[in-house]
Structure 1
């Protein structure tokens, strides 16, 4: 649930320049060409304006006039509805539900383990096991990317916006894809070549590859 925000003349997006959850929203903003002030935030030192509008003091946070939103998927869907072109969700309810389910699967299967790899302290043996599981999961689904240009779709969607920041961080996590993941690697090349993806990168993210 959003809370009432102090009215601003422009939209503001409080973003962690290193975190994939902020990156996915920046990708949507870039894809839509939204006029927004992106404010890079150190998670250990939140600005007062964010603290006043987000009861969880979390990133990412979007302020849009009298609205404050602070969960990445909620922000992404809001932006897709407010700025309908280009559409990043299907029109029909069944297709929209399937897209949300794919986003959930991406979150569970790939975003969560990537987040753990990049933020948690753990023994190296456990870290290597987590890398192995994530690599095998990605390799297992790689053939899907040979069938359509985007993830289970002919059109770029919010699912791709969730997945692209994870794939961009594979080198940071120490994960190298094997030769049999070629369809996935080709998908990554298509994503990373998009103008919107290039525009979405923070200075930290540009240095990852």
Structure 2
């Protein structure tokens, strides 16, 4: 059955009808739309030309539907509520992967690290994500909070020589936030996928030899 369904996915008429039929169902939730879009693009990632033709047709149908309902053109592609819009996101992800990996990835990561470092100079609400030095006014901590900067000495558990690394934290940081800052310092330059998670690590006191 799966083999036959896989063959049907290569039929443009069937796939367009299949997606339109699903979207016409009231029980077809937003999560379902995202799952269908992602799984469809995964199934077609080996045939990006066909996927592009299919996506162009879905977007054309979406634009026509938007015009018929007399919605404002600016609302198109803003809410990403349709399968076509979610497929478009995945389409960009596939096609931009090489560019991000070879060209834009490093500058974007450096920008992320710089913003993260700036935000961590002040308090960050561990629950809401609001920060004293947030770039967004919607996520800005407006009330005055008294805090002090502390310098902790951290030793990598995998280090043989036990070299201490100074790490700056705030006295209002949560334990998890403190762990994250320590891990950022200890595992600097190591891919995030190869780093231990904060919840898997425990904080301990260094024993000073006299």
TM-score, with normalisation over the residues of structure 1? 0.24
Q: Which has the larger radius of gyration?
A: 2
Higher relative CO (CA 8 A, sep ≥ 6), structure 1 or 2?
Answer: 1
TM-score, with normalisation over the residues of structure 2? 0.24
